[in-house]
């Protein structure tokens, strides 16, 4: 593990330095070419549909060799726009790009179909390079339940719900300063992109619609996410790998809250996740869990270093799952084999785990909402505030995990009956920790694993709990010191 960590540090440094050099090499002369969308007919009254004017500005800027597309103060209502190479989309303070609430303004004829979900989106680019979205303005999808309802039949989503953004197979991307709000579906979705930098981005997606992920990075390489503030309905940062691996990812100095998870690797995990570092972050108000590392579609999830994390008002603090769902995401290549989940280090973490209804009550105070605060804890609520869970499947182990300098406070409330619970394998099920139900341990439940080391891991309960602190099952080489 020590050698692996040294290698990982080297990879991280090369990723960060390489990314910074890439951005420094941008064409400075293009920055002097500024194209205002008002010069191409945009009005900014929040009523007119200004898609054509904004697209004309982008096209003219691109045809001139690149430059800045300026969005001045005002409300500009648009449907789908397509960004092109060497474009900086720059929003002034007071500028808002507003997503149209008419589904007819989101045509898909010229857009490729993504491997997950429908093609509709507000901002799109494919096979482009050197794109920046910057400024102090707002990009608001206005994707509320009223405008873009989700119809859920047979366990599947239906109905047109545009993503806020989809950039596919692009290189040299930078996002700085802009606030993103109210997507109907996923937020900022990057697929197979390289050399990406998010800096000081604000996301406000919480309690808007369903599936409102923050940053979805699918098969991306050389990514730096820093100093961002993300509040989301679904996963705040979600690394996906529906085909290609996510590789060389650095997250640092970010604040995140979510109805589901602050940080997730998976569930789409066919390509895998290699060399991921997350450090110096604050995760809060995540009642369904904080950190989820999942390999269930055959990919390699290896060399992950998570450190200096503070968690406040979260559910299950750490969930590692190696499974065998085996999704190929529409490509017929036979059944996916079981992947790997190994070489994981989590250190210097302080966490407070709470019962979900308490999280809702805290959120209600903040947002002046009314919620049911009936006394008592249900099994569903208890399962979402569960222990650390590290689990593979029979014959396939999670391997080489080190937890060091960890301090976690749990709510308690476990009973003798909970201590006797049998935990289902759920080998091919969608990976969510609370699906396993209430676990028979209050601090850590470890199963089908090898070489798991706890070093200075302090776990306490605030209320009585009659379960044991740690339960291990089919584990080789567990050390707690």
Torsion of the alpha carbons at 157, 202, 265 and 120, rounded to the nearest 10: 30
- Over residues 203-220, the mean pLDDT reads 96
**29-74: pLDDT as tens digits:** 777 899 999 999 999 999 999 999 999 999 999 999 999 999 999 9
Alpha-carbon distance 44 to 135, whole Å? Answer: 17
Please list the helix, strand and coil fractions of the chain in percent, rounded to the nearest 5, in that order: 15, 45, 40
**225-246: pLDDT as tens digits:** 999 999 999 999 999 999 999 9
Is residue 8 a part of any domain in this protein?
no
Q: What is the pLDDT of residue 215?
A: 98
Could you tell me where the beta strands, DSSP code E, fall in 13-170?
34-36, 45-49, 67-71, 74-78, 81-82, 87-91, 95-99, 121-126, 129-135, 138-140, 151-153, 156-158, 163-168
Contacting residues for 259 by C-beta, under 8 A, at least 6 apart: 206, 207, 232, 233, 234, 286, 287, 288
Q: What is the pLDDT of residue 17?
A: 41
Residues 445/478, Cβ–Cβ less than 8 Å: no
Is the pLDDT at 133 greater than 70? The verdict is yes
Q: How far apart are the first and last CA of the chain?
A: 17
Residue 139 token pair: 């990009």
- Over residues 97-104, the mean pLDDT reads 97
Q: What is the pLDDT of residue 119?
A: 95
Q: What is the pLDDT of residue 317?
A: 98
- List the domain range (segments joined by +) for residue 265: 46-328+339-480
**310-320: pLDDT as tens digits:** 999 999 999 99
Partnered with residue 151 across adjacent β-strands are 158
Q: How confident is the model at residue 25 (pLDDT cuts 50, 70, 90)?
A: low
Is residue 132 a part of any domain in this protein?
yes
Q: Is 447 helix (H, G, I), strand (E, B) or coil?
A: strand
Alpha-carbon distance 235 to 221, whole Å? Answer: 20
Is the pLDDT at 362 greater than 50? The verdict is no
Residues 92/63, Cβ–Cβ less than 8 Å: no
Alpha-carbon distance 38 to 339, whole Å? Answer: 52
| Domain at 445, CATH number | 2.160.20.10
Q: What is the pLDDT of residue 32?
A: 85
Instruction: Using only the alpha carbons of the chain, give its radius of gyration.
Output: 23
Q: How confident is the model at residue 377 (pLDDT cuts 50, 70, 90)?
A: confident
Is the pLDDT at 18 greater than 80? The verdict is no
Q: What is the pLDDT of residue 299?
A: 95
Is the pLDDT at 453 greater than 60? The verdict is yes
Q: How confident is the model at residue 26 (pLDDT cuts 50, 70, 90)?
A: low
Residue 296 token pair: 């269930």
Alpha-carbon distance 236 to 286, whole Å? Answer: 10
% of the chain residues with pLDDT over 70: 88
Q: Where is pLDDT greater, at 89 or 18?
A: 89
Q: Determine which helix (DSSP H) or strand (DSSP E) holds 327, and give its type and residue range.
A: none
Is residue 22 a part of any domain in this protein?
no
Q: What is the pLDDT of residue 330?
A: 76
Is the pLDDT at 222 greater than 60? The verdict is yes
Residues 126/169, Cβ–Cβ less than 8 Å: yes
**413-423: pLDDT as tens digits:** 999 999 999 99
| Count of the separate structural domains present in the chain | 1
Q: What is the pLDDT of residue 357?
A: 63
Q: What is the pLDDT of residue 375?
A: 57
Is residue 294 a part of any domain in this protein?
yes
Q: What is the pLDDT of residue 7?
A: 39
- Over residues 138-165, the mean pLDDT reads 86
Q: Is 353 helix (H, G, I), strand (E, B) or coil?
A: strand
Lowest mean pLDDT among 83-92, 368-377, 447-456: 368-377
pTM recorded for the entire structure:
0.91
- On the 0-12 / 13-18 / 19+ scale of CB atoms within 10 A, 85 is middle
Is the pLDDT at 16 greater than 70? The verdict is no
Alpha-carbon distance 291 to 298, whole Å? Answer: 20
| Listed residue (458, 476, 455, 472) closest to 402, CA to CA | 455
Q: What is the pLDDT of residue 154?
A: 58
Is residue 120 a part of any domain in this protein?
yes
Is the pLDDT at 452 greater than 70? The verdict is yes
For residue 56, give Cα distances in angstroms to 51, 62, 76, 118. Answer: 9, 10, 14, 26
Is the pLDDT at 219 greater than 80? The verdict is yes
**271-298: pLDDT as tens digits:** 999 999 999 999 999 999 999 999 999 9
Peptide bond preceding 106 in cis form (omega within 30 of 0)? no
Q: Where is pLDDT greater, at 370 or 254?
A: 254
Q: What is the pLDDT of residue 356?
A: 77
DSSP secondary structure code for residue 29 in this structure? G
Lowest mean pLDDT among 13-17, 49-53, 196-200: 13-17
Is residue 15 a part of any domain in this protein?
no
Residues 418/442, Cβ–Cβ less than 8 Å: no
Q: How confident is the model at residue 334 (pLDDT cuts 50, 70, 90)?
A: low
Q: What is the pLDDT of residue 10?
A: 46
Is residue 412 a part of any domain in this protein?
yes
125: left (phi over 0), alpha (psi -120 to 50) or beta: beta
Q: Is 234 helix (H, G, I), strand (E, B) or coil?
A: coil
Lowest mean pLDDT among 20-24, 51-55, 271-275, 393-397: 20-24
Is the pLDDT at 306 greater than 50? The verdict is yes
Q: What's the mean pLDDT when you consider all of the chain?
A: 91
| Listed residue (86, 167, 160) closest to 123, CA to CA | 167
Residue 419: how many CA atoms within 13 Å on its side-chain side? 11
Alpha-carbon distance 438 to 440, whole Å? Answer: 7
Is residue 24 a part of any domain in this protein?
no
444-461 and 388-391: which strand pairing? parallel
- Over residues 329-357, the mean pLDDT reads 87
């Amino acid at each position: 593990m020590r050698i692996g960590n040294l290698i990982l540090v080297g990879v991280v440094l090369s990723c960060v330095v390489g990314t910074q050099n890439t951005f420094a090499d941008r064409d400075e002369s293009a920055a002097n070419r500024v194209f205002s969308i008002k010069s191409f007919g945009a009005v900014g009254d929040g009523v007119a549909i200004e898609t054509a004017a904004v697209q004309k500005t982008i096209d003219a800027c691109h045809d001139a060799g690149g430059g800045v597309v300026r969005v001045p103060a005002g409300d500009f209502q648009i449907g789908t726009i397509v960004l092109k190479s060497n474009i900086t989309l720059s929003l002034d303070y007071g500028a808002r790009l507003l997503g149209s609430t008419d589904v007819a303004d989101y045509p898909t004829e010229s857009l490729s179909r993504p491997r997950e979900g429908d093609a509709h989106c507000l901002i799109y680019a494919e096979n482009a390079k050197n794109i920046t979205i910057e400024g102090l303005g707002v990009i608001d999808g206005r994707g509320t339940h009223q405008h873009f309802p989700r119809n859920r039949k047979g366990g599947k989503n239906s109905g047109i719900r545009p993503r806020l953004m989809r950039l596919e197979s692009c290189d040299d991307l930078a996002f700085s300063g802009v606030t993103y709000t109210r997507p109907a579906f996923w937020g900022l979705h990057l697929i197979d992109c390289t050399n990406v930098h998010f800096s000081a981005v604000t996301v406000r997606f919480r309690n808007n619609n369903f599936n409102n992920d923050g940053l979805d990075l699918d098969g991306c390489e050389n990514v730096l996410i820093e100093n961002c503030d993300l509040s989301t309905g679904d996963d705040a940062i979600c690394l996906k790998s529906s085909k290609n691996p996510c590789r060389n990812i650095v997250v640092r100095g970010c604040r995140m809250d979510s109805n589901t998870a602050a940080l997730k690797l998976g569930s789409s995990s066919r390509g895998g996740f290699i060399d991921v570092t997350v450090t110096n972050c604050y995760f809060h108000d995540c009642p369904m869990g904080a950190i989820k590392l999942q390999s269930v579609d055959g990919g390699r999830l290896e060399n992950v270093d998570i450190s200096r994390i503070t968690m406040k008002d979260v559910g299950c603090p750490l969930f590692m799952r190696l499974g065998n769902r085996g999704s190929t995401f529409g490509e017929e290549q036979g059944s996916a084999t079981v992947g790997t989940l190994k070489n994981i280090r989590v250190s210097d973490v302080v966490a407070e785990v709470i019962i979900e209804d308490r999280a809702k009550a805290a959120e209600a105070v903040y947002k002046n909402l009314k919620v049911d605060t009936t006394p008592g804890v249900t099994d569903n609520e208890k399962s979402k505030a569960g222990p650390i869970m590290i689990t593979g499947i029979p014959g396939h182990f999670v391997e080489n995990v080190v937890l060091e300098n960890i301090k976690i406070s749990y709510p308690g409330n476990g009973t003798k009956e909970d201590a006797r619970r049998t935990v289902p394998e759920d080998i091919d099920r969608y990976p969510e920790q609370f699906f396993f139900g209430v676990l028979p341990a209050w601090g850590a439940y470890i199963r089908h694993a090898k070489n798991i080391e706890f070093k200075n891991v302090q776990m306490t309960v605030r209320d009585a709990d009659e379960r044991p602190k740690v339960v291990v099952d089919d584990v080789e080489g567990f050390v707690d010191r």
